[in-house]
Amino acid sequence: MVTRDGREYLIPNEDLITGQVINWTYSDEKVRLDVPFGVSYDADPASVREIAAKAAAGVARVQKTPAPVCHLTAFGDSSVDFLLRFWIDDPSKGVVNVKGAVLMALWYALKDNGVEFPYPQSDIHVRGPVEVVMAAKPDA
């Protein structure tokens, strides 16, 4: 089997006979794409969902029906995590390029609305006094 992005997979006959096979290309060319992303815990999740869906809807090749949707998926270590889901109907024109266009639109839409992308952070708690020793300067 060859995927739309040119990858080849070998499926054993036993899997085809004993398992369930879903043919996603039989009835139409629509392809669902998912873009996971995370934002700061300071962001309003409802606003983020709306901003993300509108950003994806503004990209030319993204289908209007079904409309793009954004779901909150997890509370991560450093971010509130979302999944932006949208559909295209022309995968032969490329999938990575439209996904990149959606990511670019998402980046600017979130920045324009003051939503920050977090950086992983760690808090260090020191229990008790810490001895500080100053090293002597070497003679030059």
The predicted-structure confidence for 97-112, as pLDDT tens digits, reads as follows: 999 999 999 999 999 9
Residues shown for the chain: 140
Taking residues 40-48, what's their average pLDDT?
A: 97
Does 6 score more than 90 pLDDT?
Answer: no
Q: What is the pTM of this model?
A: 0.72
Taking residues 115-127, what's their average pLDDT?
A: 85
Domain definitions of the chain by residue range:
29-112
Q: Is the dihedral of CA 42, 39, 82, 106 positive or negative?
A: positive
Q: Quick: pLDDT tens for 60-90.
A: 999 999 999 999 999 998 999 999 999 999 8
Share of the chain above pLDDT 70, in %: 91
CATH topology of domain 29-112: Alpha-Beta Plaits (3.30.70)
Does 4 score more than 60 pLDDT?
Answer: no
Q: Distance (Å, rounded) from C-alpha 127 to C-alpha 140? A: 38
The pLDDT of residue 113 = 98
The pLDDT of residue 140 = 60
Contact present, 31 and 95 (Cβ < 8 Å): yes
Does 26 score more than 80 pLDDT?
Answer: no
Q: Distance (Å, rounded) from C-alpha 94 to C-alpha 60? A: 13
Neighbours of 59 (CB within 10 A): 19
